């Protein structure tokens, strides 16, 4: 790098692009343990057919290299002030969601664009055309879990995702001095042309012919999810392990004062109203949209709608906003 | 006398050497393109036979373990297993700990490369606009794992304690919940490059 290149760098973070990438763990033996059944016995889960490659892999049959992330819109690791970070609101406005005057560590996927973007799901305009990833930068991803539930019985869940993009996803972390803990906000955007879930291992008994496999497959076509966890200003996502060693995931009530979280707050006036109005105006929502859900049909070709079987049509959850969420683990 | 002769000789040699050294001027320096890079292949093994913190006990029965013994066998297994490295992080002032436990195994790879690369073409038209140097981390085509393992857990203390009453140095207040653990054997294909660059 010469001086002019170096001087052009203003410390906005580090970009990453995956160039000609293929990931294939089909030759490895991966086992997940410590998940137990009702009697406390270990249920080992074997991970098989785990791959990531260029779109058009025909469910992992043909693994070709692909680029993920673009030079202009890379994966990035940023350390920035809260007021410098922006999130794309549903109406296309960039808004600040992180609190001001503190340093935020941010890991981002290729960003969304407000103009000149590409279709997030090809042939499905509703998923938006503000993805920076082009068709060539989408991937096929698959994984199969074999649950050894009992001697001689294995339950299979085989996932294959076609033309996946995750543009606009991010994880932001910072320290909250009032709560004396690590907090953050996350957005997980998943855009997939196809998503197939098969409950048997291809080639085994009752899972050999196309008809047998179709009867055990659920097909999602043209689906996307924007999962938003946390709104940094008033509802940060709290990652927590309690002092008695249990895991807690919490989204606190956004109108309450973090210094006095048990006190009631009047949301008709004053600071309570300001927090409520800001939260409803700017906090990102969660959407899950499946344009077509089919069970037991047959997909005539890659990316096409399945025919036959049971057609469950369109399913969607829109504008979901968490007012309060607390999930804790307990030992059984 | 001999030392004086030696001294004179050394000075002469030093002058001689100085005469042959020349400072690189800017033009010569700019002609250097630093094309070398690094090619790495190797094998490393961490905590394969257990860590230094615990010895491996003879039995999986936890009450019988000595103060310096711990086994990290799979649940339900009757054979003991050495424990790997433990990494614990606390993210809240008075909170509990996230634990990456029992990290061990043998990893080998061939042909991990590290070099710089000028990108000024390709990438669907993005390369010409980009026109700058990047650090290119070339992934090895194959990474081999042997008895690789790790566990992700949450605990109320950073260090592991034997919480079975009756065991030597037992601490029954210790609580650890393994969310999941994984074992890894065989070959994973990882092909491609990771390009790293400052983002404006």
Check CB contact of A65 with chain B, cutoff 8 Å: yes
Of the pLDDT bands very low, low, confident and very high (cuts 50, 70, 90), residue B12 is very low
Q: Give SS3 for A214.
A: helix
Check CB contact of A42 with chain B, cutoff 8 Å: yes
Minimum-distance CB partner of A28 among B90, B95, B145: B145
Condensed to tens digits (0 to 9), the pLDDT of residues A122-157 reads 999 999 999 999 999 999 999 999 999 888 889 999
- Residue of A296, A331, A327 lying closest to A217 (CA atoms): A296
pLDDT at A183: 94
Task: Give burial (CB, 10 Å; 0-12/13-18/19+) of B148.
Answer: buried
Beta bridge partners of A21: A66
B181, part of any domain:
yes
pLDDT at B6: 45
- Residue of A18, A33, A77 to mutate, interface with B, max B Cβ within 10 Å: A33
Q: How far is CA A215 from the centre of its chain?
A: 28
Minimum-distance CB partner of A243 among B96, B136, B196: B96
pLDDT at A198: 96
Which parts of chain A have pLDDT scores under 70? 1-11, 332
C-alpha to C-alpha distance for A302 and A105, rounded to whole angstroms: 39
Condensed to tens digits (0 to 9), the pLDDT of residues B181-192 reads 999 999 999 999
C-alpha to C-alpha distance for A200 and A220, rounded to whole angstroms: 17
B104, part of any domain:
yes
Q: Give SS3 for A142.
A: strand
Q: Read off the pTM.
A: 0.86
Check CB contact of A43 with chain B, cutoff 8 Å: no
Q: What is the number of domains present in chain A?
A: 1
User: Contact B101/B150 with Cβ under 8 angstroms?
Assistant: yes
Condensed to tens digits (0 to 9), the pLDDT of residues B83-103 reads 999 999 998 888 899 999 999
Minimal Cα distance from B157: which residue of A? A245
Residue A118 is classified by DSSP as: B
Contacts of A136 (CB under 8 A, 6+ apart): A54, A55, A66, A67, B124
pLDDT at B21: 66
pLDDT at A4: 60
What is the distance in angstroms between the Cα of B9 and the nearest Cα belonging to chain A? 43
Minimum-distance CB partner of B154 among A17, A136, A247: A247
B107, part of any domain:
yes
Region B95-119: mean pLDDT is 91
- Tell me if B180 and A17 make a contact (CB, 8 A cut-off): no
Query: With the CA atoms of A65, A188, A288 and A230 taken in that order, what torsion angle do they form, in degrees rounded to the nearest 10?
Result: 180
Region B124-145: mean pLDDT is 92
Length of chain B equals: 200
pLDDT at A3: 62
Q: What residue numbers bound the domain in which B138 lies?
A: 37-49+84-161+172-196
ipTM above 0.90, yes or no: no
Q: What residue numbers bound the domain in which A237 lies?
A: 3-328
B63, part of any domain:
no
Q: Give SS3 for B2.
A: helix
């Amino acid at each position: 790098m010469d001086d002019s290149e170096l001087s052009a760098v203003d410390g906005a973070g580090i970009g990453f692009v995956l160039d000609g990438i293929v990931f294939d763990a089909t030759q490895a033996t991966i086992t997940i343990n410590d998940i137990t059944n009702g009697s406390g016995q270990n249920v080992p889960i074997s991970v098989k057919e785990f791959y990531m490659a260029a779109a058009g892999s025909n469910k992992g049959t043909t693994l070709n290299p692909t680029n993920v992330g673009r030079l202009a819109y890379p994966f990035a690791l940023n350390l920035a002030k809260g007021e410098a970070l922006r999130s794309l609101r549903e109406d296309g406005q960039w808004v600040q969601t992180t609190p001001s005057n503190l340093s935020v560590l941010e890991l981002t996927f290729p960003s969304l664009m407000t103009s000149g973007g590409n279709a997030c799901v090809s042939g499905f305009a509703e998923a938006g055309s503000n993805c920076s990833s082009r068709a060539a930068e989408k991937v096929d991803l698959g994984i199969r879990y074999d649950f050894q539930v009992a001697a001689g019985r294995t339950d299979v869940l085989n996932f294959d995702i076609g033309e996946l993009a995750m543009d606009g996803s991010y994880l932001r972390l910072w320290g909250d001095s009032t709560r004396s803990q690590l907090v953050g906000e996350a957005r997980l955007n998943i855009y997939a042309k196809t998503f197939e879930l098969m409950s048997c291992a291809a080639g085994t008994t009752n899972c050999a012919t196309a008809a047998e496999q179709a009867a055990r497959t659920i097909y999602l076509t043209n689906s996307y999810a924007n999962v938003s966890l946390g709104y940094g200003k008033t509802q940060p996502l709290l990652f927590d392990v309690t002092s008695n060693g249990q895991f807690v995931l919490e989204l606190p009530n956004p109108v309450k004062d973090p210094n006095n979280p048990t006190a009631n707050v009047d949301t008709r006036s004053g600071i309570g109203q300001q927090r409520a109005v800001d939260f409803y105006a700017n906090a990102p929502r969660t959407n899950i949209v499946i344009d077509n859900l089919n069970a037991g049909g047959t997909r005539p070709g890659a990316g096409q709608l399945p025919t036959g079987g049971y057609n469950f049509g369109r399913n969607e959850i829109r504008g979901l906003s968490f007012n309060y969420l607390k999930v804790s683990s307990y030992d059984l | 006398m001999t030392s004086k002769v030696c001294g004179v000789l050394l000075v002469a040699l030093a002058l001689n050497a100085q005469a042959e050294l020349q400072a690189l001027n800017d033009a010569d320096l700019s002609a250097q393109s630093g094309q070398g890079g690094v090619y790495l292949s190797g094998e490393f093994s961490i905590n394969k036979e257990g860590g230094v913190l615990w010895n491996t006990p003879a039995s999986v029965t936890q009450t019988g373990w000595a103060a310096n013994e711990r086994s990290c066998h799979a649940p339900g297994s009757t054979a003991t297993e050495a424990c790997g490295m433990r990494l614990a992080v606390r993210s809240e002032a008075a909170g509990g700990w996230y634990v990456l436990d029992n990290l061990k195994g043998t990893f080998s790879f061939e042909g991990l490369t590290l070099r710089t690369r000028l990108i000024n073409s390709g990438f669907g038209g993005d390369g010409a606009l980009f026109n700058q140097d990047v650090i290119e981390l070339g992934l090895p085509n194959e990474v081999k794992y042997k008895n690789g393992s790790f566990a992700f857990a949450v605990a109320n203390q950073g260090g592991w304690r034997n919480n079975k009453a009756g065991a030597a140095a037992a601490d029954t207040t210790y609580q650890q919940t393994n969310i999941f653990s994984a074992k890894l054997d065989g070959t994973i294909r990882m092909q491609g490059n990771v390009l790293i660059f400052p983002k404006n």
